[in-house]
Amino acid sequence: MIRVEEIKKSFGEQEVLKGISVTFEQGKTNLIIGRSGAGKTVMLKILVGLLNPTAGAVYYDDLNFSTLSVKEKKKIRMQVGMLFQGSALFDSMTVEENIRFPLDMFTNDTKLEKENRVNHCLERVELEGSNKKYPGEISGGMQKRVGIARSIVMNPKYLFCDEPNSGLDPKTSILIDELIRKITIDNNITTVINTHDMNSVMEIGDNIALLYHGELAWVGNKDEVLDSPSETLQDFIFASPFLQRLRKAYNQ
């Protein structure tokens, strides 16, 4: 579980996050949604420790991350996996080397153990046999799956995904969403996904936090979205004229 308490973040005069408190539950896919510029990426960067909040605290299972020592922070980070928007795979390494990198860096496993672990992760993301390919030789969707495989190779307790569906076609997006959800449930981990993909919201939104101009505008789950009276949420969900027509039809 990850708990965020009164998080504030400013860049100079500009206040990007204005005191956000929210809890991300274990074994569930927790979504942070909002329009571009709402503060989602800043929020995610604070959650993973890439940015320090101006005020407030992030708790990893009751441990206040900002008060931990460098060694303790490192220990937490070993339990964190992250899928980046652009996958962030190392171009000079093969798929296998990319996934194996955390194992090479932090474990004393034998070559065979690492190989088995890499193959297991590739199996989980349905990319068996792609070991020797380079990131430049595979599609965007496959790169995302390799990114997921790398993020779960150390058996993380916390998984963060930044816009996992960006740049993907709807079918591949669904596959990626299903994969993340399956990993979350199977491994009983805390997953936080930063997205503005409506399909993800409606399909895998166990917990949803809507950010609007740096404030928490709405909290709920996928079953509560359509019936929510929140104007901000409805404006966000039904942003396009097509979806507005669909909503009208749904209401009728």
Partner 1 sequence: MTLLYEFGKYLKLLGAMFRKPEKFSMYWKETLRQMNDIGVGSLSIIGLIALFIGAVTSVQFAYQLQGSFIPAYYIGYIVRDSTIIELAPTISCLVLAGKVGSNIAAEIGGMRQKEQIDALEIMGVNTAGFLVLPKVLAAIVVVPMLVIISAGISMIGGYLAGVLSGLVKPTDFLTGLTYFYEPYYVFMMLVKAVVFGFILTSVSCYKGFYVTGGSIELGRASTQAVVYSNILIVFADYVIALILT
Return residues touching partner 1 (CB under 8 A). Answer: 48-50, 74, 77-78, 80, 82, 84-86, 88-91, 101-102, 104-106, 154, 160
Which is closer to partner 1, CB of 106 or CB of 250?
Answer: 106
The label of the residue with tokens 């400013």 reads: 10
Residue with Cβ nearer partner 1 (95 or 201): 95
**Is 4 or 103 the residue whose CB approaches partner 1 more closely?**
103
Least distance from C-beta 17 to partner 1, angstroms? 19
Q: From the CB of 162, what's the least distance to partner 1, in Å?
A: 8
- In three-state form (DSSP H/G/I as H, E/B as E, the rest C), the secondary structure along 48-71 is HCCCCCCEEEEEECCEEHHHCCHH
Q: Give the separation between CA 200 and CA 121, rounded to whole angstroms.
A: 23
Q: Whole-number minimum distance, CB 4 to partner 1, in Å? A: 17
Least separation in angstroms between residue 87's CB and partner 1 is 9
| β-pairing verdict for 2-11 and 55-60 | antiparallel
DSSP state of 242: H
Nearer Cβ to partner 1 (98/236): 98
Rounded-to-integer distance, Cα 161 and Cα 24, Å:
13
Q: How far apart are CA 201 and CA 32, in angstroms?
A: 9
The residue (of 34 and 156) whose beta carbon lies closer to partner 1 is 156
- Cβ of residue 247: shortest distance to partner 1, in angstroms? 35
d(CA 79, CA 188): 13
CA distance 146 to 121: 9
